[in-house]
Amino acid sequence: MPVKVKPLADVSAKWAEVTPGRSAYYEKGATVAGADWEAKAAAAATAYKAGVSAANIEKMFAGGVKKAGAEKYNRKVKDVGVGRFGPGVTAAKGDYEKGEGPMLDTIAKVDLAARQPRGSTANYQRSVVIGTALNKQRLALRAAG
């Protein structure tokens, strides 16, 4: 005997109507879950590596992108992203400073050779020096180098 389910339109309408009012429940649970998230996410490093190394992962990723499609991407930018953009940037100021500060400090410590005339290949080397220093700092910050 088939399982009787409510029509999708009814289920989604109720979800869209009721769920936004549950933000207090979300806040109560999510704001204290950081330590648990950190420990479990770090412990999942092996599973992460296995997942991103799985056979056909490129095809699965591409298939997921195609399934979502450009229309959903554009719709979500308009319906969700634009309204969250400004408040998200404001809320991220401290995180931005924490991430960008070490990089700006690294750049400030680089001793660049003098600029050469326009078109000189020596000028490209200045970019390489900065890029190398930034990559070294990035790896050090992530304890990967």
Q: Which two tokens stand for residue 3?
A: 């399982």
Residues 97-111: what's their mean pLDDT? 95
Position 143 confidence tier, pLDDT thresholds 50, 70, 90: confident
Tallying the residues shown for the chain, one arrives at 145
Q: Same domain, yes or no, for 105 and 75?
A: no
- Rounded to whole angstroms, the Cα distance separating 137 from 105 reads 10
pLDDT of 144 reads 58
Domain that holds residue 126: 93-145
pLDDT of 32 reads 94
Q: Same domain, yes or no, for 78 and 97?
A: no
Does residue 1 lie within any of the structural domains?
A: no
* Position 145 pLDDT exceeds 60: no
- Rounded to whole angstroms, the Cα distance separating 52 from 60 reads 10
Q: Same domain, yes or no, for 79 and 99?
A: no
